[in-house]
Structure 1
Amino acid sequence: MKRLRSAASRDTREQNDSPSLRSMLQARLSRRDTLRGSFGVTAGSTLVGAGLAGCSDDNGGSSGDGNQPPELRFQSVQGVAGSGIDTIALPEGYTYDALIPWGTPILGDFPAFRPDGSNTAAEQAQQSGEWHDGMHFFPIDGSDTNGLLCVNHESLSFDFFHGYRVENGSAVTNRETDGNGLPTNADQVRKEINGHGVSVVELQRMAGEWRVSDNGRNRRITAVTPMRFSGPAAGSALLQTAYSPDGTQGRGTINNCGRGFTPWGTYLTCEENFRGYVTTQEDPVPQEKSRYLINAGGFGYLWHGVAGDASEDNGEFARWDTTPTGGSAADDYRNEANHFGWIVEIDPFDPASTPVKRTALGRVAHEGCEPGRITPGQPIAFYTGDDDENEYLYKFVTADAWDPDSPDPDMLDNGTLYVARLDASGSGEWIALDIANNDTLAQNFDSQAEVLVYARIAGDLIGATPMDRPEWSTTDPDTGEIYLTLTNNDEKDASSGSPNAANPRDPNLWGHILRVREDGDDPAATGFTWDIFAFGAPADADPDTVNRSGLTADNQFAGPDGLFFDPRGVLWIQTDNGGNAVADATNDQLLAVVPGGLRGDRTLTADNQSALRRMLVGPGDCEVTGIVLSPDARTLFVNIQHPGDAFPPTNGFPAGGASGPDNLPRSTTVAIRREDGGEIAL
């Protein structure tokens, strides 16, 4: 960057010319009823037999192929709350199987999980990781009963990841640290590194139940797995390190949260809060690091604490401290933070393939990378949120059109990255982060590679709209609309451009779901229409200011996070409540709704909120996340992340019973099925 090297962490926010919209907020909300009608007609008018314009007040909606929308055929389960709950609740007639809990042996010597947490780093590298998050199912040869499940592992509960003991009536972690919290046991650090990343696990359904299989396809990708960079930033000086002096190679993927997929059969894993792992001792912290919230402590992993251990290989621990040590970037790890925050493409069918970090999609705290509707002969748009308070919504549009007969495996290297500006009128603009066609970017950056490495700063400069922690997105298979979760935001202020019309509540403790429709249903459009599909809220909150969707005790939710449209048009919503009134009424949960069955503009209101139903309630202190439907719609795979996540842990899910030093809770993929073998939810 040319002029921002010594700026404070948020200085570029002041250059953001996006209006705060406070003066327009009430006008926007008062016009909501009018927009409900015009949103569908305007956005859907270019489609034939599909879209919002096809909704009928007589039958409650119509699907894009002229058939009736599906109807949910289960009743909401009761919301239950409590840290000690050690199972999941499902509607009558449903059951689940626990699959792939943390530590499941999947390759190599298949070392068994030790319930006291005492597995070694080498054993963890052959087992599934922790904190299961986004995932996707890839059928093998079109099978309904055999496929590869790719599962992200976001983080871990290091207070009991290595087990714990009870001394004088108190829980004591087995994680070995010095008086400053720095880890001192190199094998424990390697185990934590190996607990992150991605698991590729082959599953087979036999006698109605899914089981882990081993036909040579299983794989672990961790925070040390060799990777390569591709796209505009590959080979940039900003990616040079002592490990890769030419800036083309990297090690590992970290904090893998949301996910994506491509029509050519690859998995996209998304690096979110990498700021929790890389640290710096610089004072002041330069803006290119502070803007990404990198500091001296991170999340407390502090893996650089064992740097210099006799067993250290090629700076494997030293790299996590990005403080310059003199010389050039090729002599130390000052640029290691720039190795994370990317979309990583993985070929699940080739265990020997090298994962690729696709730099054309920009470097932010990626939360998902969902493609829009995929049409042969058109480019593909991939949507991603930057999951921090007051961050931005992005899309990447491929330069080439999709050709299913001749797929390009490097399609994600060429295209345009855009960031969103949302106006109070209900319209929006995608602004290209393209240095060749934007004077502001050209005045502040030296190259397109620099724009992409510091995409957050580029978004500041061109006036993107701050959002309430943009997380997962998903695409309506009927209309092509994009739905996006905004989880929450209690750090709003006018100088950051929030609150605003698309993120109106201040503070937003409950979250909401945004809906976007590209102009002309064109993935490459630079204009769009938007509205708010649903507001999370406690059931008893004020309907005018908080509970604007009229939620009841049967479907109140907060912290919408994971989001998934299945091919039948069912929208699944997963929650990460945090501490709020909804969490006091129900643990984290999974809900379902069919937008195509809602009248009018297909928005949740007090008049139709009963269409939103609760499918699952999780165990205590968990997050419900990661979701995909089997090809025959008879299994819903869902992840239960960090059950019992307190110290000492509060429950023993999935084994059940109380947790203890010999019964640690484990993040787990569950396979939900109907007892009669029928389709899920319908």
Structure 2
Amino acid sequence: MTELSPYHEDQELDNNASNNEHFRDILEQRISRRSLITKTASGAVALALASSLTGCGSDDDGNASTTPPADPAEKPKKLTFKPVSKNLDDIVTVPEGYQASILYAMGDPINPAYAAWDDNNVPKGPSFMYRSGDCHDGMSYFGLNSNALNYDANASERGLLVMNHEYINPTFLHPEGPTKVNGRRPEEEVIREVNAHGVSVIELKKDKATQKVEIVKNSLFNRRITASTVMEFAGPAAGSALLCTRFSPAGRQTRGTHNNCGNGYTPWGTYLTTEENFIGYFQRSGSDEYERTPEEKKALKRYGLSLSIDYLYEKNPDGSPKKNAKGEIIYVLDQQGKKIPNLDDQDRVAYLDKNSRYAWETAQGSYYAQDMYDRWTADVTADEADQDYRNGPNTFGWIVEIDPFDSRSNPVKRTALGRFAHEDCRASRLRADDNLAFYMGDDSRGEYIYKFVSDQKWDAKDVNGGYAAGDKYMNSGKLYVAEFNNDGTGQWIELAYGKNGLDEGSSAYPFESQADIVTFARLAADEVGATRMDRPEWVAVNPENGEVYVTLTNNSNRGTAHALDAANPRNYSDPEGGKGNVNGHIIRFRETGDTTTAESFTWDIYLFGAEASMAENINLSGLNDNNDLSSPDGMWFDPRGVLWIQTDDGAYTDTTNCMMLAALPGQVGDGGQVKTSSNIDTFAGAQVNDENLRRFLTGPKECEITGVTMTPDYKAIFINVQHPGEDSESYDAPTSHWPATQTDSGNTTARPRSATVVITRKDGGVIAGA
């Protein structure tokens, strides 16, 4: 019995070997501040700020405000809650006057027929079809109309909360951690892991007086969508030969969604989940290397599944492996480059085989048919693609639309939006005179920022249109990738067959159709010369002006392997020994003419992460102890225009656990030119202060704070705590005991579990309001 080693996402983060410019390579010479942005005043009305808040942890529920109630939809003029101090506590710490409650933790049932989670009796794998998955991530709230039982954007007392379960922490998911027996994963463990991925849909009820939020356990809306759920394809790649598998020879369906990180939602009331680091779930032994076409090899390499036998064998001048007189390959090179002589065929296959991230392909079917596990092997094993799973990886990496109100129809993978490591997907502002658009980032080193512009303008009559509305707005449109210029402007380059060199003569890939382009969007972006970015993470769209914000978490290579420039201008060391762009930053851009169909934009850097004590030419945003942060990741604008920023950090965690902050940002061009510690001039947003950026919460030990949404009355905010105690070395020695410690600080035995937290004010007031 062998324990599995932990997975590290760095294995999948760098697959762009194109010669396209990095964002770091733009602006080799310093340039003056542009004057292209006309500053406009915010149209939001300020809230009247009222009474102070009562102390956190106090038994006093607070006194009702004597001031007239403010409109909760109005954006605060300034932030007035008391900032949470940096800390290393094993709880979710919230401001004075607020309270945090555990709503939905890994393993919790969504059906009353299933027992509550028990640390000492981990539930069976099949039961996770009716339990919370692991590693909670992006999520959205959908109001539920109690009469029509459909989407109601104004309903706060009854609604559906939909959330991602990105991946798993197998150390605590299984009774004694993950195991292998004779090189195979036990089917029971694999079923539990597959079901712990995907998406949860849960019905909530909120008490209008107390704001207490509870799960409706017997709701018919409650369901799990997992890595085995049948999915439909729609858009230009649907029916393509690239999506043909043994499961769906016509290329119209696949099974499952996994590694769902960020999210989005549509104005017609459906949920968008993003498939991020999907490629590591597939095994490719390399035994089919000489059966793959050069085009297939190029695509596999670009998406990170290039386990080629070429680099293992001693090569002939033409690149083929050297063979003896009998036609046998003579030598194989091990990972240190040493020769391994005369392996027989069986040993050679065993040496070349490399399991996927969780080795699901090694399970032997008993509960399910063997095909359920064979699908994770991406080798050529048959004469035709519709007889094996060589195209299995092509069926993942898409934006998936889920209608929370429709459990009878299959979720739909929207191929028009391109295939890559989707981190997030955010719709543009709703305007009847503008085409609906979606903004997306490819979360991997050196990847790109994309947008999809629908052929359709928004029509409010399509609310509650379900998948039919998705077909209308998301199957037909233009896919673009961003190029950033050295003068603070940029342009969108269309990724369309027959345009911008995207055809059979392309050097990146011989594109023969739009299906090829969207399936291999990274290669198309390479061909048109898009700007290589440093891991575009979450995207947020400002409801006031339509500006788009993107988090760039950090980059240890900035200033060394990656040259400095105005968009990535910092190379410094922190007190803990980190180097490069240690703490990350947030960039933003504004479409020319404030219209989604624009093919140009302007950009600047809204916020620089930093420790408060750092020098001014590192701490360029002027952060202090109430708002300093490192590695911004999750991010969302609520409808009022408050920006919520979350961190997934390892650089500042000796001082504080990961956190969420509230911000009231301005607009592109509201700052000025600054010079960094590396003597680089850059474009920075206006410096922040306590009134427009402050820490709202900190999480428990070794977690990531991620996922954020609210009820429409702004009186309950939901966040996710992912992988608390992730540095634990074994299931019986956890470094965190959260969420048990949220209510029992002395608990030293409970397993850590990812969970959703609901935060309310003790006086029942508006979050971050008066």
Return the offset for 1:611.
2.9
- Over aligned residue pairs, what C-alpha RMSD do you find? 2.8
How far did residue 69 of structure 1 move?
5.2
Q: Which residue of 1 aligns with 2:80?
A: 73
Counterparts of 1:288-299 in structure 2, within 5 Å, are: 288-294=299-305, 295=307, 297=354
CA distance in 1 between partners of 2:42 and 2:720 (Å): 33
User: Which is further off, 309-318 or 445-454?
Assistant: 309-318
Aligned equivalents of 2:382, 2:746: Cα separation in 1: 48
Determine the C-alpha separation between the residues in 1 that align with 2:498 and 2:737.
55
Residue 24 in 1 paired to residue 27 in 2?
A: yes
Who is 2:172 aligned against? Answer: 160
The partner residue of 1:177 within 168, 175, 180 is 180
Q: Distance in 2 between matches of 1:543 and 1:347?
A: 48
Look up the match of 1:287: 298
What TM-score do the two structures reach when normalised by structure 1?
0.87
Q: 1:611 aligns with which of 686, 692, 701?
A: 692
Matched, 1:456 2:527: no
2: CA distance, partners of 1:565 / 1:479: 12
| Partner of residue 305 from structure 1, selected from 335, 346, 362 | 362
**Residue 647 in structure 1 maps to residue 729 in structure 2:** yes
CA spacing shift, 1:601–1:41, aligned 2, 3 Å = farther
List aligned pairs for 1:11-410, cutoff 5 A. Answer: 13-16=17-20, 18=21, 22=25, 24-25=27-28, 27-28=30-31, 31=32, 34-35=33-34, 38=35, 40-41=37-38, 70-81=77-88, 85-107=89-111, 109-116=113-120, 118-141=122-145, 142=152, 143-164=155-176, 173=177, 175-178=178-181, 182-206=183-207, 207-213=210-216, 214-282=218-286, 286-294=297-305, 295=307, 297=354, 300-306=357-363, 308-313=364-369, 315-406=371-462, 408-410=469-471
> Could you tell me which residue of structure 2 aligns to residue 593 of structure 1?
663
C-alpha distance in 2 between matches for 1:290 and 1:109: 46
CA shift in 2, pair 1:605/1:493, >3 Å: closer
Q: Distance in 2 between matches of 1:669 and 1:11?
A: 33
Per the TM alignment, residue 298 of structure 1 is displaced from its structure 2 partner at its CA by 6.8
- Whether contact under 8 Å (1:347, 1:355) holds in the other structure is yes
Task: Give the equivalent residue in structure 1 for 2:318.
Answer: none
Task: Tell me whether 511-520 or 441-450 shows the greater mean CA deviation.
Answer: 441-450
Aligned mates of 1:102, 1:286 — CA distance in 2 = 39
Contact conserved, 1:390 with 1:492, CA < 8 A, in 2?
Answer: no
Equivalent in 471, 476, 485 of residue 414 of structure 1 = 476
Q: Are 1:526 and 2:599 matched, yes or no? A: yes
**Could you say what secondary structure the match of 2:130 adopts?**
coil
Residues 680, 344 of structure 1: alpha-carbon distance in 2 compared, 3 angstrom cutoff: same
* Unaligned segments of structure 2, at least 5 residues: 1-12, 47-73, 146-151, 290-295, 308-352, 572-579, 673-683
CA distance in 2, matches of 1:183, 1:610: 56
Q: Does 1:536 align with 2:609?
A: yes
Which deviates more from structure 2 when the two are superposed, residues 297-306 or residues 646-655?
Answer: 297-306
Q: Name 2:766's counterpart in structure 1.
A: 679
Q: Which residue of 2 aligns with 1:167?
A: none
Residue in 1 aligned with 2:66? none
Could you give the per-residue CA deviations for residues 366-400 of structure 1, whole angstroms, max 9, x where no partner exists? 01110111112321110111011111101110011
Residue 298 and residue 345 in structure 1: after superposition, are their counterparts in 2 closer, same or farther (change >3 A)? farther
- 3-state SS of the aligned residue for 2:371? coil
Residues 320 and 607 from structure 1, CA distance in 2 versus in 1: closer, same or farther, beyond 3 angstroms? Answer: closer
**Counterpart in the other structure of 1:553:** 625
| Cα pair 1:197 1:254 within 8 Å, conserved | yes
1:501 maps to: 566
User: CA 1:267–1:403 in 2, change beyond 3 Å: closer, same or farther?
Assistant: same
Cα 1:443–1:176 shift into 2, 3 Å: same
Contact 1:117 1:162 (8 Å CA) reproduced = no
* Deviation of the 1:256 alpha carbon: 0.6
> Are the counterparts in 2 of residues 69 and 596 from structure 1 also a CA contact under 8 Å?
no
- Tell whether the 8 Å contact from 1:275 to 1:298 is kept in structure 2 after alignment: no
Instruction: Give 1:271's aligned amino acid.
Output: E
CA contact (8 A) 1:40 1:51 kept: no
Letter in 1 for 2:568: N
> SS of the counterpart of 1:317?
helix
1:258-297 deviations in whole A, cap 9, x for unaligned?
0011111100000011022112112769231222223565
Does structure 2 retain, via aligned residues, the 8 Å contact 1:111–1:123? no
Residue equivalent to 1:481: 547
The one-letter amino acid paired with 1:454 is F
Find 1:584's aligned residue among 631, 651, 654. 654
2-structure distance, mates of 1:674, 1:11: 45
Structure 1 residues 144 and 22: CA distance shift in structure 2, 3 A: closer
1:550–1:609: 8 Å Cα contact kept in structure 2? no
Pick the structure with greater CA Rg.
2
Post-superposition offset of 1:658: 8.1
* Contact persistence 2:78–2:691 (CA under 8 A): no
